[in-house]
Every structure is written in C-alpha cells, then in structure tokens.
C-alpha cells in the first residue's frame, strides 16, 4: 500500500503494519464521519454510504491481503472493512480541521472504490460517563488535594484538643 501525506506532499511506497496501526489509532474512542463510495470509470454507476459513529477499536492484519477493520463502540455488529487498499492518503495539514484518511483502490475492470474517514471530535455522550476526577484539569486537581490536606490537618488539630474521655451524666454526653 502506498501512503500519501498531504502535508509536505510526501509519499511512502511501502507501509509497515505498525505504522498503519499507529496512524489509525488516532481514531479510537473518537466520533468519526465516514463515506464509502464506488464508481465505474466507464459508466454512470455510483454507490455511496455515509454514517457517523464512535470507534471502539481498529484491527489491521495482513494475511493473504491487507485488511483494516473499524468497529463501532456502541453497535458491535457495525463495522467498516477495507480490503487490500492500494493507497492511503492522510489529511492533517490544518490542525483545527480534524484528522482524516482515505483509502482508494481500483480493480482491473475499472471500478474505483474509496473509503474516507474523518475525526469529528470527542463523543459527548462518553464525556458524560467520565468520573469527576477525569474531567478536572491538573491545576484543579492540585487545589482539590491541597484542600483535602488542609481539612485533614484541621481535623487532627481539633481531635488533639478534645477531651480523651466523655462521661454520660443523666443521659447527656
């Protein structure tokens, strides 16, 4: 498979599986938009499917041919399977626009197939599932720990000034 980096117009002819895995791992636990399309060069036949989902995991294997699988985190039966792509183009030239890749292949009978996947950002429903500790910033965490240490020290001071033994007189302590 040939990898084309749009930033710097760089091309690598042969990609290793670890490189492809590392590139695609950026999509795991992110919402993605994808479009899968196929068209005939000689006719007017065209097919296209689009969807948005959160990527649960990605598998890249190379047994008889390169296979790339994107699995939906919320719907286990939903996945994108890309078989033996000839080219992977990486779009990351503008940091604010999101990371994207496209896979393309062409058959001997003139059918072009393409799969485009674009990062759409954090999954907002999964953000709500995070604990309060995961949602705070590092400075907020240090403030919280400082407050705990201060309140623990105050509690120890109060306990050291309390009488060691309380007596019960007429049912009142």
Q: What is the pLDDT of residues 65-83, one digit of tens each?
A: 899 999 999 988 899 999 9
The Cα–Cα gap between 128 and 147 comes to 25
Q: Inform me whether the pLDDT recorded for 173 exceeds 50.
A: no
pLDDT of residue 24: 92
Higher pLDDT among residues 17 and 15, named by residue: 17
Three-class DSSP category at 8: helix
Q: Inform me whether the pLDDT recorded for 91 exceeds 50.
A: yes
pLDDT tens-digit readout, 135-149 = 666 677 777 778 877
Mean pLDDT score of the chain: 79
User: Bridge-partner residues for 60, per DSSP?
Assistant: 68
pLDDT of residue 166: 46
Query: Which residue intervals of the chain are DSSP H helices?
Result: 17-24, 124-129, 132-135, 138-160
> H or E segment at 31?
strand 31-40
Instruction: Identify the CA nearest to 40 among candidates 135, 109, 142.
Output: 109
Three-class DSSP category at 145: helix
Longest dimension (CA), the chain: 102
* pTM as predicted: 0.66
Higher pLDDT among residues 35 and 92, named by residue: 35
């Amino acid at each position: 498979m040939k990898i084309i980096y749009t930033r710097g117009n760089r091309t690598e002819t042969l990609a290793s599986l670890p490189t492809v895995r590392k590139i695609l791992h950026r999509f795991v636990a992110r919402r993605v938009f994808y479009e899968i399309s196929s068209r005939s060069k000689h006719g007017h036949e065209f097919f296209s499917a689009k969807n948005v989902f959160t990527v649960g995991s990605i598998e890249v294997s190379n047994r008889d041919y390169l296979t790339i699988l994107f699995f939906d985190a919320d719907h286990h039966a939903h996945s994108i399977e890309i078989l033996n792509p000839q080219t992977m183009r990486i779009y990351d030239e503008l940091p604010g626009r999101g990371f994207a890749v496209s896979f393309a292949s062409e058959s001997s009978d003139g059918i072009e197939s393409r799969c485009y996947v674009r990062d759409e950002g954090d999954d907002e429903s999964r953000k709500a599932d995070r604990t309060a500790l995961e949602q705070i910033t590092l400075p907020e965490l240090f403030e919280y720990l400082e407050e705990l240490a201060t309140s623990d020290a105050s509690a120890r001071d109060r306990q050291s000034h309390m009488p060691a033994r309380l007596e019960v007189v007429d049912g009142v302590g």
